[in-house]
């Protein structure tokens, strides 16, 4: 039976990424040594890192004056690296989910933090709209997509202060104007690579402004100076990321990916809205293109476990909703084919007919 991978992360990757990485594990670039065993200092691997950074810049149209870094520690380490490097007196945060809340909590260790708005009281079912960003803040932090709750900020925000964004789960899924951001970061395990590498896009001129001493490993300037090679980088995930970036370029780049993602999401949301058994969990205007959350309608809630079992038997993998929301979550990341969404819809329709 064919399996369809809807896992929220680590998640589906392009088959080209998987196949090319497997081959490199056996023999990296004809060196006779596998990717997991090579020195990261050889010229062939230095080229991997350089090419990956170059493709980041090309695909996202990153302007001059920004650096692209590949680091360890996950996006969660960035929760402290961002304020360590940027927060002098005050930072502003938009609280739209668990990860946004955790980022805000870490920042409080470094200075004053203003929560400009929150949807926590509504279990993060919408993105707050009417709020004021304090103009004396060192930066304004947002989480563009919320994997647990299925909400997403769909447009680049015009911020009067430096805009910082956690784009762990929607990077490369839609065009962005990088010039509107001072720093973008994210874990790679949703749309880019296996877990283990974190990307950072940072405007160079923002750095070196805080008065505190920054530990060497937590200073972005260290990693810029050494080209993400200050210490041994996550070799395999960076190589896999390069393969994904090559694949993305080959299909037409971010613009084509956005077209595909909108189509997949529209199909599934239409079925959720049509099907008598199911309903969405978030405000319609804030529905995520990456994590589509839905639950059983109240009169059919006793069928929750039955549908999960039915869908699993049909090859749907990873559709169980997060415990904070319940129900179901279909993560429709870049590498998920339209065929998978169509298979899930057919599954929902078949289950509806029998109930």
pTM of the shown model: 0.98
Q: Known catalytic residue: 170? A: no
The CATH code belonging to domain 253-353 is 3.90.1150.10
In the prediction, which pLDDT does 51 show? 98
The secondary structure of 107-119 as a DSSP string is: HTTTSEEEEEEE-
Residue with the two structure tokens 């691997």: 45
Are 119 and 108 spatial neighbours (Cβ–Cβ below 8 Å)? no
Residue with the two structure tokens 């998640």: 11
Q: Known catalytic residue: 190? A: yes
Q: Known catalytic residue: 338? A: no
Q: How far is CA 221 from CA 198, 208, 230, in A?
A: 16, 8, 10
Are 303 and 296 spatial neighbours (Cβ–Cβ below 8 Å)? yes
Are 167 and 29 spatial neighbours (Cβ–Cβ below 8 Å)? no
Q: Count Cα neighbours of 218 within 13 Å in the Cβ-side half-sphere.
A: 15
In the prediction, which pLDDT does 41 show? 93
The secondary structure of 219-281 as a DSSP string is: -HHHHHHTTT-SS---HHHHHHHHHHHHHHHHTTHHHHHHHHHHHHHHHHHHHHHH-TTEEE-
**Among the options 138, 166, 170, 219, which is catalytic?**
166
In the prediction, which pLDDT does 247 show? 98
In the prediction, which pLDDT does 289 show? 98
**Among the options 2, 3, 27, 99, which is catalytic?**
99
- CA atoms of 337 and 341, how far apart (whole Å): 7
In the prediction, which pLDDT does 334 show? 98
**Range list for CATH 3.90.1150.10 in the chain:** 253-353
**Among the options 190, 203, 264, 320, which is catalytic?**
190
Q: Over its length of 355 residues, how does the chain's per-residue pLDDT go in tens digits?
A: 899 999 999 999 999 999 999 999 999 999 999 999 999 999 999 999 999 999 999 999 999 999 999 999 999 999 999 999 999 999 999 999 999 999 999 999 999 999 999 999 999 999 999 999 999 999 999 999 999 999 999 999 999 999 999 999 999 999 999 999 999 999 999 999 999 999 999 999 999 999 999 999 999 999 999 999 999 999 999 999 999 999 999 999 999 999 999 999 999 999 999 999 999 999 999 999 999 999 999 999 999 999 999 999 999 999 999 999 999 999 999 999 999 999 999 999 999 999 9
**Range list for CATH 3.40.640.10 in the chain:** 15-250
In the prediction, which pLDDT does 283 show? 98
Are 288 and 146 spatial neighbours (Cβ–Cβ below 8 Å)? yes
**Second-level CATH architecture of 15-250:** 3-Layer(aba) Sandwich (3.40)
């Amino acid at each position: 039976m064919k399996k369809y991978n809807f896992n929220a992360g680590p998640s589906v990757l392009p088959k080209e990424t998987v196949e090319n990485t497997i081959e490199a594990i056996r023999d990296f670039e004809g060196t006779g040594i596998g990717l997991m065993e090579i020195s990261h200092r050889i010229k062939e691997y230095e080229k991997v890192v350089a090419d990956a950074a170059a493709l980041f810049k090309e695909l996202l149209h990153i302007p001059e004056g920004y650096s692209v870094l590949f680091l360890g520690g996950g996006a969660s380490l960035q929760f402290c690296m961002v304020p360590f490097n940027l927060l002098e007196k005050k930072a502003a945060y938009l609280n739209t989910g668990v990860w946004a809340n955790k980022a805000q909590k870490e920042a409080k260790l470094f200075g004053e933090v203003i929560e400009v708005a929150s949807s926590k009281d509504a279990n993060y079912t919408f993105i707050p709209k009417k709020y004021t960003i304090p103009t004396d803040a060192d930066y304004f932090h947002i989480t563009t997509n919320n994997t647990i709750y299925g909400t997403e900020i769909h447009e680049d925000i015009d911020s009067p202060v430096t805009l910082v964004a956690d784009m762990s789960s929607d990077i490369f899924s839609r065009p962005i104007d990088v010039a509107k951001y001072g720093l973008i970061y994210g874990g790679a395990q949703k749309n880019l690579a296996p877990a283990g590498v974190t990307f950072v896009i940072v405007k160079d001129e923002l750095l070196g402004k805080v008065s505190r001493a920054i530990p060497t490993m937590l200073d972005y300037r260290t990693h810029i100076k050494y080209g993400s090679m200050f210490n041994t980088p996550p070799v395999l995930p960076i190589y896999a990321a390069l393969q994904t970036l090559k694949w993305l370029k080959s299909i037409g780049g971010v613009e084509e990916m956005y077209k595909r993602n909108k189509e997949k999401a529209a199909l599934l949301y239409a079925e959720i809205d049509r099907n008598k058994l199911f309903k969405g969990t978030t405000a319609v205007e804030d529905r995520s293109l990456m994590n589509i959350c839905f639950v059983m309608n109240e009169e059919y809630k006793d069928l929750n476990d039955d549908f999960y079992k039915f869908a699993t038997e049909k090859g749907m993998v990873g559709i169980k909703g997060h415990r904070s929301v319940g129900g179901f979550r279909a993560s429709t990341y870049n590498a998920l084919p339209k065929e998978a969404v169509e298979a899930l819809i057919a599954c929902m329709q078949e289950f509806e007919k029998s109930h």
